[in-house]
Amino acid sequence: MSCLGLDRLYRYLDRDLKPEDAAEVEVHLAGCPRCREEVELRRTLDQAASSLPDLEVPADFAETVMGRIIRAEVPRKSWLAILSIGLGTLGISLGTLILASGQSAMGLLQGFGRDSLRSLQAVFLLVLKFFKLILLAVKVLPELAETGLHGLSRISASFPAGILAFSAVLMLILISTCVLGFRRSFLVRNDIGEDA
């Protein structure tokens, strides 16, 4: 038998050869110091590689992972709870309504259909009236603006210029304070504050 190839050598070390092949290798090794040395070298390396030290796992590792799992589950569960409570309340309300009406569920459904149609008609009429109102406002608005401006000019004519300028500055400060205050309260409410 010729000297061992690496595939045969490693399969011999892995006990992956057929018994007759393994026996043949052993006969060869008995008479071949070079192959014997190669086998021993790789056996030692295998042993060293198979006993590499463990990396240290922190004592609280499992608790930490479970904590992350629980934290991830709680928001999902609370969302589901809100949905369930909402649907449950809706169901109970509908049931109570049916019982209190003293009518059959089918009759109520038919009634609901009729009522829905009437409601739709009412909404349609309301939208029409709203558009009429807007058209009227568009017609009236220029006259209204003219009257407003006329009134303002008469007021300004009856006051000295200094008082008017002071009032304008006061109004400007008031408006800026309102706008800035609203902006700050919006940022704080949404947790995107300037400093935070």
Partner 1 sequence: MNDDQELVAATLKGNRKAFEMIIRKYQQPLLNYIGRMVGERELALDFTQDVFLRAYACLPSYRPQFKLSTWLFKIASNLVIDFWRKKKIPTLPLDQPIEEDGDGFCLQIPDDKPSVAKTFELGELRARIDRALARLPAALRELFVWRHVNGLSYEEMAEIKGLPVGTVKNKVFQAKELIRRHLEEET
Binding site for partner 1 (CB under 8 A): 3-7, 9-11, 14, 16, 34-35, 37-38, 40-42, 44-58, 61-66, 68-70, 72
Whether 105 contacts 98, CB under 8 Å:
yes
CA distance 26 to 4: 11
| Residue 48 CB partners (closer than 8 Å, separation 6+) | none
CB of 76 to partner 1, least distance (A): 11
Cβ nearer to partner 1, comparing 57 with 196: 57
CB of 62 to partner 1, least distance (A): 4
CA distance 32 to 61: 52
Cβ nearer to partner 1, comparing 65 with 135: 65
CA distance 33 to 61: 50
Cβ nearer to partner 1, comparing 64 with 156: 64
Whether 186 contacts 193, CB under 8 Å:
no
CB of 25 to partner 1, least distance (A): 13
Instruction: Return the half-sphere exposure (C-beta side, CA atoms, 13 A cut-off) of residue 121.
Output: 6
Q: Residue 18 in 3-state DSSP? A: coil
Cβ nearer to partner 1, comparing 53 with 162: 53
CB of 11 to partner 1, least distance (A): 8
CB of 27 to partner 1, least distance (A): 18
Cβ nearer to partner 1, comparing 57 with 138: 57
Whether 3 contacts 32, CB under 8 Å:
yes
Six-digit token pair at 3? Answer: 């000297």
